[in-house]
Amino acid sequence: MLKNIHIVLIGLALFILLQTFLDTVFAVLTTLVVLFSWIAFNIFSVKHSLFLKSICRIRTKEKVVFLSFDDGPSDQFTPVILDILKRNNVKASFFCIGQHAEVYPDLVRRISSEGHRIGNHTNSHNWKNAFKPSSIIEAEIDRTNNILFDITGSKPELFRPPFGITNPSIAKAIKGSGMQSVGWDIRSFDTISKDPQKLVRRISDKLRPGSIILLHDNREITSRILNELIETIQNKGYKIVSLADV
């Protein structure tokens, strides 16, 4: 069940309003379309989800932002990204896929040893799991936590829902695991962007205090623009800090 009853109240209000002006059957159909569209929007928008409270931006007046990387570790690009972060003395958060961590444990150890925050991004990163029972999702979370604990000796506290999808099953699984869901308020689209300059500009134009930036450490373009992105962010007067510092 939805824990937030606003969706029901808004749906009822829409129904009453439409019924005043339109044929009853049409009003019902229109209300249902609006209602289900809004539900779909909340399922696919981690920032606006009614089902689960996720940290998508840190509330602060300080000019600080947070870099986060999903879908790794990658043997091709994670080392490059770690080198750049180290040169710039910048800490970030890495939301690791369990299957990848299992293949590249040395990279997970390096992420941890260099002071970055490690989070859980499920074991398989399969979008179909988002629409399965909560027990399956929780098993994915637990499996990844165990893998990361075996590698680093620490259990992750942060979880990022794959693709930003949330629903009642995912909410139940995350609560059951005792983890904090983390989203973002700046989506870089580095998974589809082809132009490095446009990518840097897209991110830097959206900066605001407390922004959490979504990047991916399994993409070449991200490794190519990261140094310039860090410089651009810092030139705008922002400090890049770790989620561990809040």
Going by C-alpha positions, the residue among 176, 156, 133, 167 that lies closest to residue 42 is 167
Residue with tokens 């979370």: 141
Residue with tokens 């693709």: 163
Determine phi and psi for 154, rounding to 5 degrees. -130, 140
CA atoms of 109 and 115, how far apart (whole Å): 10
Q: What residues are annotated to the active site?
A: 70, 216
- Give the angle 1-51-128 at the CA atoms, nearest 5°: 90
